[in-house]
Amino acid sequence: MLSVKGRAGNGYRVETPCSNTAVVRGAKPVLGVPVVIDVGHGGDEEGARGPNGLSEKVVNLAVAGHARAALERQGTAAVLTRTGDYRMTLDARAELALALRPRAFVSIHHNSVPDGPRAGPGTETYYQLRSADSKRLAGLIYEEVVKALSSYRVAWVADRDAGAKYRPNSRGGDYYAILRQAGPVTAVLAELAFISNPAEAQLLARPDVQQVEGEAVARGILRFLGSDATGSGFVTPYPRNEPAGPGGGKSGCVDPPL
């Protein structure tokens, strides 16, 4: 997806995935959509990697596609920020949120560096500190994903404070740029499972499991849009100092053919 900045002759001036300006012709603009699924990483920013060689960027795209398909089957239009294997800046992702003004913006990721073993999935959903809607969306996605993944009996791992949670920065705002920059759009960052864990990487490589995850994300979003349900799994996170993974900047970014 490209965000439109204005008309340019018989085409549109757009922001590219690398946050450059380009002109496209023959494309039909999307004026608004209730759900945007943000597909984490892409191109040479592959995100975390499983011991089986599985790339987070690949799993994120597959799961997001299943979430979108499940939403569309229920009559809820949804778009993906990234539709192929290319880099995309955090700015370009946030611009799409601000241009499309969806009711829900969900960033799909898979985690690494757990604290240790856990009896069930170590799913984490991060919400925007000052948004009750974001908190509810995070609780519903957490609830649906944990319920769906719990049917698999594997050696799960997690952080000690796995759950629906938040991470403040030193100024009391949202630590994660995508949550901060997408505001005022209701946004959640989901770390669905630990791709760094051999047992989970094996699961995540399976198309059927990718579909189960994507459909669970969609159910959480549909319950957010269609009910007052609050979700569950809310925790008080322990203070974190480790930086978020690298990437999301413009430097070295190469746009795909438009």
Contact positions vs Zn ion (CB under 5 A): 40, 47, 109
Write down the least CB distance from residue 244 to Zn ion, Å: 9
Write down the least CB distance from residue 47 to Zn ion, Å: 4
- Contacts (Cβ under 8 Å, ≥6 apart) of 31: none
Residue with smaller CB distance to Zn ion, 124 or 215: 124
Three-state SS string over 148-189 comes to: HHCCCCCCCEECCCCCEECCECCCCCECCHHHHHHCCCCEEE
Residue with smaller CB distance to Zn ion, 47 or 102: 47
Write down the least CB distance from residue 27 to Zn ion, Å: 29
* Chain position whose Cβ is nearest to Zn ion: 109
Tokens coding 243: 């930086």
Residue with smaller CB distance to Zn ion, 111 or 128: 111
Q: Are the C-beta atoms of residues 200 and 194 closer than 8 Å to each other?
A: yes
Residue with smaller CB distance to Zn ion, 12 or 176: 176
Residue with smaller CB distance to Zn ion, 76 or 197: 197
Write down the least CB distance from residue 24 to Zn ion, Å: 28
Write down the least CB distance from residue 41 to Zn ion, Å: 6
Q: Are the C-beta atoms of residues 194 and 85 closer than 8 Å to each other?
A: no
CA 62-250-12 angle, to 5 degrees, is 80
As beta bridge partners, residue 7 has: 12
